[in-house]
Amino acid sequence: MNARTAAADVTAVMLGIVAAWGLTRLVLYPALGVPDNAPLILRPITGFFVAWWMLHHRGTGWHSLGLVVPPSWWRAVATAVALYLATMAVSSYVAPPLAEWLRAEPQPSFVSYVRGNLPATLLWVGIGCVVGGFMEECLFRGFLLTRVAAIFGGGTAALAVGVVAQALLFGALHLYGGAFAFVFAALAALLSGTFFLVAGRNLWPLIAVHAAWNTVAIWGVYQS
Phi, psi dihedral angles at 71 (to 5 degrees): -65, -25
**In what helix (H) or strand (E) does residue 135 lie, and over which residues does it extend?**
none
**Strand positions, DSSP E, 81-194:** none
Are 221 and 117 in contact by the 8 Å Cβ rule? The answer is no
**Cα distances (angstroms) measured from residue 49 to each of 20, 96, 107:** 12, 34, 30
Range of the domain at 173: 3-223
Report the pLDDT value the prediction gives residue 177, as an integer from 0 to 100: 83
Q: How many domains does the chain have?
A: 1
Q: Which of 206, 165, 224, 175 is nearest to 39 (CA)?
A: 175
Distance CA 206, CA 183 (A): 19
Distance CA 113, CA 201 (A): 37
Give the pLDDT of the chain (224 residues) as one tens digit per residue.
899 999 999 999 999 999 999 999 999 999 999 888 889 999 999 999 999 999 999 999 999 999 999 999 999 999 999 999 999 999 999 988 888 787 766 677 788 888 999 999 999 999 999 999 999 999 999 999 999 999 999 999 999 999 999 999 999 999 888 888 899 999 999 999 999 999 899 999 999 999 999 999 999 999 98
Distance CA 149, CA 3 (A): 9
Distance CA 155, CA 123 (A): 41
